[in-house]
Structure 1
Amino acid sequence: MNTARPDLDPQLRTLLSGMPLNARLTSEMLPELRRYPTPTVRELLADRAADHRETTVTAADGARLPLSIFTPTQAGDAGDAGARPCVYWLHGGGMIMGNRFSQIEIPLEWLDAFGVVVVSIDYRLAPESTGGTLVEDAYLGLVWIADHATELGIDPSRIVVAGTSAGGGLAAGVTLMARDRGKPAIVAQVLICPMLDHRDITTSSRQYSGDPGIWTRETNQFAWQSVLGEPTGEVSAYLSPALAADLSGLPTTYIDAGTAEVFRDEDVDYASRIWASGGQAELHVWAGGCHGFDALFPQIDLSIAARRARIDWLARTLAADSAARVAVPAISP
């Protein structure tokens, strides 16, 4: 341990003590980690009133990127008939692993709660794809949603961009990109423990270095090097959003992180800079939370509180943007 640092939540500490953890990630370990299973569609839709379909979107270089679309089969917060909100989900995994079903249980809770349509994309991963390719892939999926709003049964003025970890960073980058390119409209962004800064210069980055953990400074450096190689020029703020000089004009934003994780300080700084630009952001920093705690262990008290806080915020945000009030559902442990 290099320095004093916040301790883990007691329930998390107990659960993590039984997990094999590493301080470093290597190229040799990556193929094995990529084989880690994600839920099947059958499992995701069990006891859930939703339909599922698959499509693809074509990138400028001809690559075909899979999209998964989950649509409620019961009435929800649609407002006008057939015009539902949409959540565009970007998965985590350090931009080096994961797929469109990773952590998707989180936005599917919002489908259950509010009747939103959930769309998730398989953006390409590093090191096979590098640099701006990843965020351009993510932006392409967003544009596809807006262009197919009628077909999807969504209101194109009520698209929420959301993601966790690397997906949270890509969500922030896509939102900046949409602002700068003038489309599509985004009503809100939800950034869950987002990966925002390739520089690894914060206190929290140094605090969670050297010891085994869910996501350490060394693992983070490996992931960014996989994405950027050895950068010889300017790194795009769309890929590393902490570099953005101007955070004005962004949609209302939700950011959360744990006190016991590498990304804590870059996430707090991003919220602070949104406020400094005159924007609106809600920030939660969960005492004792490690990186991705609520996706790893959704049953513990801290995770239930974190998911509930997002549900409450989304309820207020969607209600403020809709003539119909949103009923806030209960979340069971």
Structure 2
Amino acid sequence: MTPARPALDPDLHELLADQPLMTTLTPELLAQLRRLPTPPVDTLPTRRRFERRELAVPVADGTPVPLSVLTPEPADPADLAGPAAGAPCVYWIHGGGMVMGDRHSQLDIPLEWLDEFGAVVVSVDHRLAPEATGTALVEDCYRGLRWTADHAAELGIDPARIVLAGISAGGGLAAATALLARDLATPAIAAQILICPMLDHRNTTTSSHQYAGGPGVWTREMNEFGWRALLGDLPDEEVGPYLSPALADDLAGLPTTYIDTGSAEVFRDEDTDYAARIWAAGGQAELHVWAGGFHGFDALHPQAPISATARRTRTEWLARTLASTRATSPR
């Protein structure tokens, strides 16, 4: 018997009715989904014009890590938020269940911050499971982040205002990358934004069981597929926090964190628990659970009123956070 579920937001319910839904993923279906095109970056709506560069971070022991760097043109020649003054940077990690997506996926989200704050957006193209397994994905994300920080002056970035952000699987990889950066003591991260992050491979929460056994945007069965693809044959006892961040024993020392999720989604409980554990460790986190929001609602349907509110709230938080980091940044 399927457990009772929180009701969907009425506007989202109407929009979801026209959307093709799935219960699980298979290798055949994954191959089809991977062939779907990502919207070209140049077609995404922005107020500011930007320069786009495609780079590849050299890696001595593996495949180079591709990065897209989107640098805004100043809104005004005297705009001190522009790259000449050292812009904030949003280092973006795309979603896709660890098994699909690319560095151009969901870029409309960080492009809002390029518009609003003149942020340089750096988006990483990490490898995908099951072709790559274990920590390969987070290592790609970390290498790209480390390169970005090391080349901050060249990129026009203020190294004290690098924000790590990701959605869904990208949110989980962002959390793992933040843990890795903390443990290696480099690079400095001003903040992390985790949007409906995929944090826990165990799939044992109440919300995980609530969203099993029926079609959805991202179900318990689809989540199991993604985690199996990433972990391969790795025994449970060898899965660590750089793979499944919810396993981290200590969440102290992380950058200030923004987490949002929906009440009607599979990751709700692991996301709220992660915020609570940051607080318990003495850290700072802001948590939003959007009533009636399903997984990735504001990425899939940004026109819905609840989506607009979620995006605006996130941007307002980032404005406060960047103002704080600018105030404390050495000149």
Fold shared, TM-score > 0.5 on shorter chain: yes
Q: Distance in 2 between matches of 1:135 and 1:246?
A: 19
Who is 2:276 aligned against?
272
The CA deviation string for residues 100-146 of structure 1, in whole angstroms up to 9 with x for no partner, is 01001000000000011000011000000001000000000000001
Amino acid at match of 2:54: E
Who is 1:187 aligned against?
190
Amino acid at match of 2:282: G
How big is the shift at 1:234?
1.3
The correspondence of residues 45-64 of structure 1 with structure 2, limited to 5 A, is 48-64=48-64
* Larger deviation, residues 44-53 vs 202-211: 44-53
User: Structure 2 residue aligned with 1:150, among 134, 149, 153?
Assistant: 153
Q: Distance in 1 between matches of 2:80 and 2:238?
A: 43
Who is 2:36 aligned against?
36
Who is 1:113 aligned against?
116
Who is 2:9 aligned against?
9
How big is the shift at 1:170?
0.4
Cα distance change, pair 196–300 in 1 and its aligned pair in 2 (3 A)? same
Q: Distance in 2 between matches of 1:62 and 1:251?
A: 29
User: Structure 2 residue aligned with 1:231, among 231, 234, 238?
Assistant: 234
Who is 1:67 aligned against?
67
- Matched residue of 2:306: which SS? helix
Query: Cα RMSD (Å) of the superposition?
Result: 1.5
Q: Distance in 1 between matches of 2:46 and 2:114?
A: 14
User: Structure 2 residue aligned with 1:78, among 81, 91, 101?
Assistant: 81
* Larger deviation, residues 44-53 vs 59-68: 44-53
Retained in 2: the 8 A contact 1:69–1:118?
Answer: yes
Retained in 2: the 8 A contact 1:96–1:127?
Answer: yes
Q: Distance in 2 between matches of 1:62 and 1:203?
A: 39
* Stretches of structure 1 lacking an aligned partner (at least 5 in a row): 325-333
Paired residues in the alignment total 324
User: Is 1:297 paired with 2:301?
Assistant: yes
- Matched residue of 1:21: which SS? coil
TM-score of the two chains, using structure 2 as the length reference: 0.95
Q: Distance in 1 between matches of 2:80 and 2:192?
A: 18
Retained in 2: the 8 A contact 1:77–1:115?
Answer: no
Who is 1:328 aligned against?
none
Who is 1:254 aligned against?
258
- Matched residue of 1:108: which SS? helix
How big is the shift at 1:79?
8.0
Retained in 1: the 8 A contact 2:72–2:82?
Answer: no
Retained in 2: the 8 A contact 1:204–1:265?
Answer: yes
How big is the shift at 1:74?
1.0
Q: Distance in 2 between matches of 1:294 and 1:202?
A: 23
Retained in 1: the 8 A contact 2:83–2:157?
Answer: no
How big is the shift at 1:58?
2.2
How big is the shift at 1:158?
0.8
How big is the shift at 1:229?
1.4
User: Is 1:210 paired with 2:205?
Assistant: no
Who is 2:166 aligned against?
163
Amino acid at match of 1:112: D
- Matched residue of 2:286: which SS? strand
How big is the shift at 1:47?
5.1
* Stretches of structure 2 lacking an aligned partner (at least 5 in a row): none
* Larger deviation, residues 75-84 vs 128-137: 75-84
How big is the shift at 1:60?
3.9
* Seq. identity, %: 65
